[in-house]
Structure formats: structure tokens, C-alpha cells
């Protein structure tokens, strides 16, 4: 028998091309027209991967000469009111036959062992989950101790069955998409179910945090194409980790290092961290964003971002670098209402409040007099001094209204300063950063609290928050 030899390169090419093909066939009896969509979960959203016209026989085919990345996908039926979830992983030729009267129990998915596991899990959860919810509701409505004990016992039993079922999949099918999904959903057990002491609570916290990511690898990109990973990631950074910039930076760097060999997870996490801390919820956390910029963005490690996105991130980082909490505030060399030099550093005080304001700003008109009232009533006696900076695009045109506002509201105990056009032009010529960049002044009023050495200890606060912070400082110094 004569053997047929193909060139090695051709064999590789043929096999590679076949390996890259995906084909998802939807059979939807009852639908004879319309558009069906192949989507995938990404974070909390559905992203459209492909679309196909449903034929008059109720068939739609999604296919392409590429390999789809693993994850939880969904086919939306025409009208987008109903959809079916399924897994795509190594097996990429899948057939989905649906019955729109009962999508969960009557849908049949073939061509993928992963989806046998997934469908069995969904049916088990639907059956046990319903009973679980019934027992929980019955427990809350119980009128006797006996009823409460009965429903609590049933609830605990059902909960154990659910957890045992999940653990069995993770143990016996550790490489499966189902196991990766369950690990992303998993919550670590507490050491003390009913903590009685502060020590018990601390042990619970440290144990929970230590085991929070057990079973989750940052090198398996399938987990980001699920609705479970992002909520888990958000919870860790918003609720579990200590809300201090150093702690956040340490964990973020470690996780990003683990994900460097998996570009999709690395991109997912760095994008989320950047979005989360570019405008943080807590004062001082902007240091996380500046760190991310310095270590990743500025080093060219975010090539997927377009030029406009990179420019926005760079501009924001440079606005924050000089005014991080703990940094020494930049000096402001300006002149006062009498056109005499009155720099910030020449103002000696235990605490200095720097207020950037505009007499035409409606919010400033309300807040500046309130600041002065609390200053005179309380802060002044504790060695606080006020340094007000005229902030506006046409400062010299504002000067008459500025001085009028100061006189009418009796703000004479403040040091009031502004920068002339000539001073601003000289700074520009010398390529010195403007006060707006140095203090991130994008709106008015903007308030900073400095200590006696002009280190920044508070920023972007309301007068109420400033008062609370000062009260804490005064108490701690006693």
C-alpha cells in the first residue's frame, strides 16, 4: 500500500486551522425569524461575541475560524427576553436544542462534557435551592421553638447537601470549568460561627482573608468570563482588605504578579484597579492610583489602552503626584489683597487650612462664610490659620468681586492671596507646575488641611469633615 506523505508544515497548518474553529448551533423550534446573539459574561455584563439570523426552521449558526476563550457564554433568543447559559472551553463545536417553555429542564446541549456537568448542577441547584429557600422562609415565620428547631435543622441539612455537591465536583473534576466557577463563588468557612470575644472576631477575619482566594488561580482566564469573579474581586478590595493605600498596593502588586503569565486576567485586574482608585471613595487611596501609574502605565505595560485613555490616566496621575496624603504641600508664592508677597510657607501655624475658592461660585458663596464661622468659633483657638486662594480663569477680573466678598463677609482674619497674570506667565515660562496641578484644583471650593510642617494630612474635605479630623488630631495630642 502506497503511503501518502504530506509536508509537515501543511499538516501543522491543517490541524491548527481546525483547532481554531468554533461552531455553536442553536435549534429553537417555535422561532422562525429574528436575530439570535452569542454573548459571554465579562464582569457583570454580557458582551456580544457574534449574531446570527434564525432560519424559518428555527436554526441559527454561530461560527468562526478562531478559538473562543473559555468561559460562561449565553445564547439570547430573538427578542432578547430569554437566554440559555452554557460553557465553552476546549470543546468548541456545540449544539444547543432549546424548548422555550422550560429552558432549564428541557434544553439539551451536546458536544461538550463540560455542559453535562453544568446542566446537572443547574438542575440540582434549582431543585435543592427551592427547598432551601422554603425552609429559610418557614424558619423566619415559625411561631414555636419546636418549629424553629425543625426548620433550622432542615435548612442546615440542605445547605450541607449543596456544599457537598459542589465540593464533590471540585474534588473529582478539578480541571473542569465547573470547578473553576465554583471556586470563584466559594466563601471560606469561619473559625468561630458565633464569635464571643474580640479575639474570636480577629481570628475569623484573618482566617477568612487568608483563605479568601483558596482554589482560585490568577492564571486561569476562564474565571473572568463569568458573573462570579468580579463581585468576589470587588468584595475583597472594598470590604475585606484594610482600606489603607499601603495594604491595597501590596495585595494588588502580588496578584498582578501572579497574573502576568495570563494577559487577559492581568488586563482585567489592572483595568479594574485603575478605575477603582482613579477617583477613590476614601481619602488617601489616590496613592494607589499613582502607584499603578508609576509601576505599570508609565512603563508601557498597558498596550491595550488607546491613546486617549493613556492620556487621561497620565494627566490624572500628574495632577495627584504632588498632593498625596503625607506629602509636603507645595509652596504657594502669591500676593495678598494689598499686593504684598504672602507665601504659604511664611504662614506659621499648628494647622493651616488652604481654601481654593471663587467669589462667583455658588457653592463657595455658601461654604466660605461657614468655614469662617467655625474657624472663629473653634479652630482659631487651637492654632489654626486660614489661607484662601482666589481660583478662577480670569483672576484679575475677579479681584474686585473677590475683595468685595471678603469685606462683606468679614473674612479679614484669613490670609487671602492670588496670582497675577504676570506671575502665572513667568511660571509657565519656567515650566513650573501650576497651583491647579500641584493641588488638583478642578472645582471650587477645594480644601486642604496641613500640619505645622506643611505636610498634607487632609484634602478634598467638607468643613464638617475638616472639623471632625481636627477634633481627632487635638484629642490624640493631649
Instruction: Find the range with the poorest average confidence among 89-98, 103-112, 259-268.
Output: 103-112
Residue with cell 473653634: 378
Band (pLDDT 50/70/90 cuts) for residue 350 is very high
Q: How many angstroms separate the Cα of 185 from the Cα of each of 122, 220, 419?
A: 14, 15, 56
According to CATH, the superfamily of the domain at 8-110 is Immunoglobulins (2.60.40.10)
* pTM for the structure as a whole: 0.86
Per-residue pLDDT for 286 more than 90? yes
Q: What is the distance between the alpha carbons of residues 292 and 277, in angstroms, rounded to a whole number?
A: 9
The closest of 413, 355, 350, 410 to 384, measured between CA atoms, is: 350
- Architecture, CATH, for domain 335-476: 3-Layer(aba) Sandwich (3.40)
- Is the Cβ–Cβ distance between 291 and 320 less than 8 Å? no
Q: What is the distance between the alpha carbons of residues 261 and 259, in angstroms, rounded to a whole number?
A: 5
Band (pLDDT 50/70/90 cuts) for residue 162 is confident
- Is the Cβ–Cβ distance between 85 and 176 less than 8 Å? no
Span 359-372, pLDDT tens digits: 999 999 999 999 99
- Domain positions in the chain are 8-110, 118-184, 231-323, 335-476
The closest of 317, 335, 241, 237 to 279, measured between CA atoms, is: 317
Four-residue CA torsion sign, 248, 249, 250, 254: positive
The closest of 106, 75, 104 to 88, measured between CA atoms, is: 75
Q: Write out the three cell numbers for 129.
A: 435551592
What percent of the chain is modeled with pLDDT above 90? 74
Amino acid at each position: 500500500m502506497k503511503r501518502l506523505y504530506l509536508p509537515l508544515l501543511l499538516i501543522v497548518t491543517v490541524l491548527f486551522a481546525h483547532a481554531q474553529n468554533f461552531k455553536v448551533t442553536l435549534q429553537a423550534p417555535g422561532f422562525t425569524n429574528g436575530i439570535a446573539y452569542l454573548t459571554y459574561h465579562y464582569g457583570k455584563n454580557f458582551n456580544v461575541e457574534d449574531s446570527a439570523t434564525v432560519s424559518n426552521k428555527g436554526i441559527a449558526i454561530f461560527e468562526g475560524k478562531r478559538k473562543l476563550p473559555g468561559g460562561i457564554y449565553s445564547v439570547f433568543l430573538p427578542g432578547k427576553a430569554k437566554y440559555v447559559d452554557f460553557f465553552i472551553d476546549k470543546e468548541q463545536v456545540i449544539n444547543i436544542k432549546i424548548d422555550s417553555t422550560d429552558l432549564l429542564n428541557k434544553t439539551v446541549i451536546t458536544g461538550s462534557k463540560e455542559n453535562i456537568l453544568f446542566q446537572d448542577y443547574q438542575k440540582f441547584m434549582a431543585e435543592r435551592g427551592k427547598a432551601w429557600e422554603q425552609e429559610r422562609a418557614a424558619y423566619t415565620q415559625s411561631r414555636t421553638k419546636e418549629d424553629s428547631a425543625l426548620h433550622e435543622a432542615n435548612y442546615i441539612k440542605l445547605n450541607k447537601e449543596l456544599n457537598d455537591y459542589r465540593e464533590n465536583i471540585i474534588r473529582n473534576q478539578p480541571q473542569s470549568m465547573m470547578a473553576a466557577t465554583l471556586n470563584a463563588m466559594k466563601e471560606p468557612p469561619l473559625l468561630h460561627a458565633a464569635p464571643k470575644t474580640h479575639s474570636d472576631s480577629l481570628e475569623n477575619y484573618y482566617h477568612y482573608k487568608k483563605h479568601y482566594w483558596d482554589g482560585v488561580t490568577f492564571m486561569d482566564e476562564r474565571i473572568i468570563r463569568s458573573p462570579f469573579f468580579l463581585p468576589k474581586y470587588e468584595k475583597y478590595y472594598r470590604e475585606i482588605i484594610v482600606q489603607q493605600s499601603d495594604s491595597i498596593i501590596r495585595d494588588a502588586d502580588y496578584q498582578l504578579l501572579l497574573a502576568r503569565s495570563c494577559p487577559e486576567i492581568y488586563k482585567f485586574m489592572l483595568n479594574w484597579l485603575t478605575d477603582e482608585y482613579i477617583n477613590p471613595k476614601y481619602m488617601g487611596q489616590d496613592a494607589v492610583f499613582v502607584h499603578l501609574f508609576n509601576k505599570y502605565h508609565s512603563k508601557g505595560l498597558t498596550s491595550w489602552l488607546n491613546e486617549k485613555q493613556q492620556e487621561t490616566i497620565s494627566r490624572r496621575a500628574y495632577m495627584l503626584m504632588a498632593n498625596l496624603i503625607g506629602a509636603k504641600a507645595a509652596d504657594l508664592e502669591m500676593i495678598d489683597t494689598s499686593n504684598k508677597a504672602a507665601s504659604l510657607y511664611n504662614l506659621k501655624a499648628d494647622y493651616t487650612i488652604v481654601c481654593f475658592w471663587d467669589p462667583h461660585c455658588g457653592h463657595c458663596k455658601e461654604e466660605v462664610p461657614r468655614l469662617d464661622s467655625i474657624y472663629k468659633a473653634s479652630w482659631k483657638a487651637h492654632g489654626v490659620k486660614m489661607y484662601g486662594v482666589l481660583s478662577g480663569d480670569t483672576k484679575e477680573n475677579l479681584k474686585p468681586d473677590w475683595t468685595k466678598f471678603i469685606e462683606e463677609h468679614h473674612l479679614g482674619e484669613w490670609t487671602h492671596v492670588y496670582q497675577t497674570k504676570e506671575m502665572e506667565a513667568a511660571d509657565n515660562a519656567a515650566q513650573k507646575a501650576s497651583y491647579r496641578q500641584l493641588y488638583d484644583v478642578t472645582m471650587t471650593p477645594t480644601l486642604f488641611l496641613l500640619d505645622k510642617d506643611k505636610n498634607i494630612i487632609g484634602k478634598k474635605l467638607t468643613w464638617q469633615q475638616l472639623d471632625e479630623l481636627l477634633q481627632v488630631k487635638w484629642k490624640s495630642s493631649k
